[in-house]
Structure 1
Amino acid sequence: MRFLVYGAGAVGGAAGALLHASGHETVLLARGAHLAAIQRQGLTLATPEDTRTLPIAAYADPAEVPHPVDAVLLAMKGNDTEAALRALAATVDPATPVACLQNGVANERAALRLFPNVYAICVAFPATHLEPGVVVAHSAPTPGILDLGRYPYGVDEVAQRIAGALRDAGFAASPRPDVMRWKYRKLLVNLSNAVDAVCVRDEATAELGELLRAEAVAVLDAAGIDHASAEEDRLRRGDTIRRQDVPGTPRGGSSSWQSLARGTGSIEADYLNGEIVLLGRLHGVATPYNEHARRVANLFARQGRPPASLPAAQWRTLLTS
């Protein structure tokens, strides 16, 4: 297949590199110093097994891509999705399949406003992007699990083809008609990203993550939204993902932690914790922990504060102040 990976950060860049290496023609969309480095010297992919630099075509805008593609993989943070979709809709055939290789559950609905053929991918793929021109995949021999299905429900030939391409690239990838159940489970897991990003890591930090998830489960239950259970998730993952340090690039933290580490000035908390806050407001369930996590993560991003620098006790004090 011919892929356009829109957002060549940790997940998008590493997935694009692995698709390219497996023989699927892949084009990347990136920005800033990262784009300049890829255009100058290729994209470097580091894994626990090896490090290689791949000559992948990269552009700043979808209008620059010189040929049609079979599918677009959206891989930017949720806070950048709307702008990316507008740029994409101005240039590609509207029938082009668009697959959301993203955390959160709002991207697919946004894509469906502009594109009729939308696919959801549940991402379990430990990857890091901190240096321009370099992405790191931390699991081997299987880099991650990328199950997918048509949005809002179902599996079709395109989903089967994308899953096959992802398997060619080394991923565990199963077509799932109920993929959004799994994306809501992943959302519950990702709620602790905001705490991981801002708080010093200790037992108290882990407790905050549990509070965020308990609050969110109450919200999903009130909204009538089904989600895969923690046990289902544990069984699906099994021992497929084996996180390992890559020489010179230890796994620093979540995607939100990486946003603070790179000083991007933005973070995806509005589309993770903020999704729970929105649903809570719609269904009359209070969400003080997730609202606080959202606010503090955004504050750290705006102020350029370093990741993992706020004691968990101080996080709680700010909640009650």
Structure 2
Amino acid sequence: MKVAVLGAGAIGAYVGAALHRAGAEVHLIARGEHLAAMRRSGVRVLSPRGDFTAHPRATDDPYEVGPVDYVFLGLKANSYAAAGPMIRPLLHETTGIIAAQNGIPWWYFHRLPGPYQGHVIQSVDPGGAVTAALPLERAIGCVVYAATEIEAPGVIRHLEGTRFSIGEPDGSLSPRCTAFSGAMVAGGLKCPVEADLRRDIWIKLMGNIAFNPISALTRATMAGICRHRHTRDLVVTMMRETVEVARRVGCDPAISIERRLAGAERAGEHKTSTLQDLEKGKPLELDVILAAVVELADLTGADVPTLRAIHAVADLLDERVRQDLAATG
């Protein structure tokens, strides 16, 4: 099995190291000091489950890699539309693209029976730009339940969780999913193939849609948001509105809000990825997490006043971050 990890950051390098340990031919595509360190010394994984070092190939040029069986996307979803030139050299006739993203994926309504089959969510796939870069027939969904961070260039700190749920848009238990799952398991990770991955997407999104923008707006950790009575109530309201949208597009997350909130609270003094991006001056990954659900509410007629309000102020914050980034070059 030949796998390219495009965007071999904290999650991508962790997955690549695990697959390499399982015997797959792995190519990490990265840049900067992190790439230089991985070329020099491999990927060092520090984990409560045991430290290890892997030495997959690392490059910044996908043409050096050539066609692969799977592309594992470790990029932020707001980078997908521009990823076409990096993806194309990695594709052969049957290459699968495994998108490890938060929020609503561009393939969400692909092969989903019902009134919205084939519908394009513009906040996720504006003008079909993501579909042009990542063809729908290649898409394999992935919901990540692992937390990692880059502790130093080439060094990945695994904090918790090893589950990477994957699934086909049409719900089939395909040979390509089964094969990739087997390689992940051999590398020490959990990788169930789900017949209804959309349920996992909404369960994770229930937390992301509330904690990510609130953390960016308040600079608070997940535990801090939960401890404060008013923000805790705000999270509950946002989760309720999100579940209503999910049900209107035919998916029942089948988890109580109390249980989902308790799971988030156990994360403790954890900074969400959106807060981390804000602190680094990076654009915020809010389109697929928040704007997409507001757009689906418009599509289905769901009443989501709280989601709309948080989206308005978070979108303004993201606009200012992008302006600052443009001004500093």
What TM-score, normalized by structure 2, do the two folds share? Answer: 0.76
Matched residue, 2:16:
16
Measure how far apart 1:69 and its partner are.
1.7
Q: Distance in 2 between matches of 1:281 and 1:133?
A: 44
**Do residues 217 (structure 1) and 217 (structure 2) align?**
no
- Is the CA contact 1:98–1:115 (under 8 Å) kept in the aligned structure 2? no
Q: Distance in 2 between matches of 1:7 and 1:251?
A: 26
Query: Against the structure 1 CA distance between its residues 108 and 27, is the aligned structure 2 distance closer, same or farther, given a 3 Å change threshold?
Result: farther
Secondary structure class of the residue paired with 1:180: helix
**Residues 1:230 and 2:230 are matched in the alignment:** no
1:179 matched to 2:197? The reply is yes
Distance 1:91 1:149, change over 3 A: closer
Shift of 1:302: 5.6
Q: What is the CA-CA distance between 1:158 and the residue it aligns to? A: 0.9
1:157–1:144: structure 2 CA closer, same or farther, 3 Å change rule? Answer: same
- The alpha carbon displacement at 1:163 in A equals 1.0
**What amino acid is the match of 1:282?**
L
The one-letter code matched in structure 1 to 2:141 is: A
Aligned residues, how many? Answer: 288
Q: 1:111 to 1:302 in 2, by over 3 A?
A: same
1:92 and 2:91 aligned: yes
| Aligned residues: CA RMSD | 3.1
Cα 1:11/1:293, change in 2 over 3 Å: farther
Within 2, Cα distance between the matches of 1:233 and 1:182?
17
* SS class of match (1:129): strand
Distance in structure 2 (CA, Å) of the matches to 1:105 and 1:221: 14
Are residue 276 (structure 1) and residue 290 (structure 2) matched?
Answer: no
Q: Displacement of 1:276 after TM fit?
A: 0.7
Q: 1:269 to 1:57 in 2, by over 3 A?
A: same
Query: Is 1:82 aligned with 2:81?
Result: yes
CA distance in 2, matches of 1:111, 1:73: 16
Q: Choose the corresponding residue for 1:257, options 264, 275, 291.
A: 275
Q: Does 1:198 align with 2:217?
A: yes
Deviations 1:195-241 (A, max 9, x none): 2333232323333222221121222233x331331159979xxx9xx
Unaligned runs of 5+ in 1: 245-249, 306-321
Query: Aligned pair in 2 of structure 1 residues 37, 159: CA closer, same or farther (>3 Å)?
Result: same
Shift in alpha-carbon separation, 1:205–1:232, aligned structure 2, 3 A: closer
Taking the aligned partners of 1:90 and 1:115, their CA distance within structure 2 comes to 17
Aligned to 1:290: 307
Give the CA deviation at 1:161: 0.6
Structure 1 residues 296, 94: closer, same or farther in 2, change over 3 A?
A: farther
Q: Residue 108 of structure 1: SS of its match in structure 2? A: coil
Residue 281 (structure 1) shift: 2.1
Q: What is the match of residue 115 of structure 2?
A: none
Q: Taking structure 1 as reference, are residues 85 and 231 closer, same or farther at Cα in structure 2, changes over 3 Å only?
A: farther
Distance in 1 between residues matched to 2:203 and 2:4, nearest whole Å: 27
Q: 1:71 to 1:163 in 2, by over 3 A?
A: same
One-letter amino acid of the structure 1 residue matched with residue 184 of structure 2: L
Matched, 1:122 2:143: yes
Structure 2: gaps spanning 5 or more residues: 109-129, 323-329
Query: Residues of 2 paired with 1:233 and 1:159: CA distance?
Result: 32
> Could you tell me how far 1:47 is from its partner in structure 2?
1.0
